[in-house]
């Protein structure tokens, strides 16, 4: 994927841009990068201007020293739209990216067209034990220090229903990204901003519930029926909270529908966007 870097509020942000038409912005999840959308970019860009980014603090983008809280993430998204000269855009976010997309849409409703939430975090306090343990010092540091191809593959297999559908090059991508200086520290700092050993922090999901209940946007919620990171009941809660929303559940699918079932994911997206 041809990549480039843009300046967003003084930060160097890596993006991939393809296609022409109404703009769509793809926001990845915790510890991920724009490569996690590699099975969707070609199809979705056929009728849209598609922009995937390494979010601030992740991948090959700048790593700020400050905590990436909800307000900072939302302000960054506003600056990102400004840097690209976009008055409005649709936001598509997976996991942490869905949390950011939802909250940003609530704070700048006039800048967001449609919203797609993909197994987004923050609808409830429940989250996988792996995330909870990672938020505890020094467990997270030790786990990431001991990373290798086997341990990364084991972790990523928890994100999908069928481990045979996990692309091997995604394992290589994670190893490569976490070898980038400051990536480990930045990822753990973001994780601990919103998660502790009990789960998602109360102030996070309370803020998200309030934001969701006032969203005016047409919203598509896509969820893997067997998600072990953010369980399926949170999808139904999101459907209840967001009044102008529809829910699309993909069976035999985990936390990454865009990776595990790209054809079904892409079609659901295109049907909604039309």
For the chain, how many structural domains are there in total? 1
120-168 tens-digit pLDDT: 999 999 999 999 999 999 999 999 999 999 999 999 999 999 999 999 9
Q: Residue 15's pLDDT band (boundaries 50, 70, 90)?
A: very high
Going by C-alpha positions, the residue among 194, 4, 199 that lies closest to residue 103 is: 194
pLDDT at 1 over 80: no
| Residue 153 is assigned to a structural domain of this protein | no
Average pLDDT over residues 237-260: 98
| Residue 245: strand, helix, or coil | strand
| Residue 213 is assigned to a structural domain of this protein | yes
Instruction: Give exposure, 196-206, as e/b (b: 16+ Cβ within 10 Å).
Output: beebbbeebbe
Q: What is the pLDDT of residue 66?
A: 83
Q: Are 32 and 53 in contact (CB under 8 A)?
A: no
| Residue 230 is assigned to a structural domain of this protein | yes
Q: Residue 37's pLDDT band (boundaries 50, 70, 90)?
A: very high
| Residue 186 is assigned to a structural domain of this protein | no
Alpha helices, DSSP H, located in 168-256: 168-178, 183-194, 202-213, 233-241
262: domain CATH number? 3.40.50.1820
* Six token digits for residue 214: 């006032």
| Residue 97 is assigned to a structural domain of this protein | yes
| Residue 154: strand, helix, or coil | helix
Peptide bond into 138 cis (omega under 30): yes
| Residue 167 is assigned to a structural domain of this protein | no
* Six token digits for residue 67: 């905590």
For all residues of the chain together, what is the average pLDDT?
A: 97
Average pLDDT over residues 106-114: 98
Q: Residue 64's pLDDT band (boundaries 50, 70, 90)?
A: very high
Structural domain boundaries enclosing 237? 3-125+203-273
| Residue 165 is assigned to a structural domain of this protein | no
Cα separation, 13 vs 195, whole angstroms: 25
Burial class (CB in 10 A: 0-12, 13-18, 19+), 180: middle
Q: Residue 65's pLDDT band (boundaries 50, 70, 90)?
A: confident
193-223 tens-digit pLDDT: 999 999 999 999 999 999 999 999 999 999 9
| Residue 92 is assigned to a structural domain of this protein | yes
Average pLDDT over residues 243-258: 98
């Amino acid at each position: 994927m041809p990549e480039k870097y843009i300046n967003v509020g003084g930060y160097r942000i890596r993006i991939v841009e393809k296609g022409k038409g109404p703009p769509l912005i793809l926001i990845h999840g915790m510890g991920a990068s724009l490569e996690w959308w590699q099975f969707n970019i070609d199809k979705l860009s056929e009728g849209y201007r598609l922009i995937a980014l390494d979010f601030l603090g992740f991948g090959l983008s700048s790593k700020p020293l400050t905590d990436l809280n909800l307000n900072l993430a939302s302000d960054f998204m506003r600056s990102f739209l400004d840097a690209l000269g976009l008055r409005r855009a649709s936001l598509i976010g997976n996991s942490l990216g869905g949390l950011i997309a939802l909250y940003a849409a609530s704070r700048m409703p006039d800048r967001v067209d449609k919203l797609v939430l993909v197994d987004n975090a923050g609808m409830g306090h429940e989250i996988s034990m792996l995330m909870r343990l990672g938020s505890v010092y020094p467990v997270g540091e030790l786990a990431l220090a001991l990373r290798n191809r086997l341990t990364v593959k084991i972790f990523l297999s928890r994100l999908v229903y069928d481990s045979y559908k996990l692309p091997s090059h995604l394992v290589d991508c994670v190893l490569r990204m976490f070898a980038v200086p400051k990536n480990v520290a930045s990822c753990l700092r973001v994780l601990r901003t919103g998660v502790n050993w009990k789960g998602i922090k109360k102030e996070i999901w309370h803020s998200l519930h309030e934001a969701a209940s006032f969203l005016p946007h047409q919203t598509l919620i896509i969820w893997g029926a067997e998600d072990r990171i953010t369980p399926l009941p949170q999808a139904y809660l999101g459907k209840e909270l967001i009044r102008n929303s529809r829910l699309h559940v993909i069976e035999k699918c985990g936390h990454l529908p865009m990776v595990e079932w790209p054809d079904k994911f892409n079609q659901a997206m295109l049907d909604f966007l039309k």
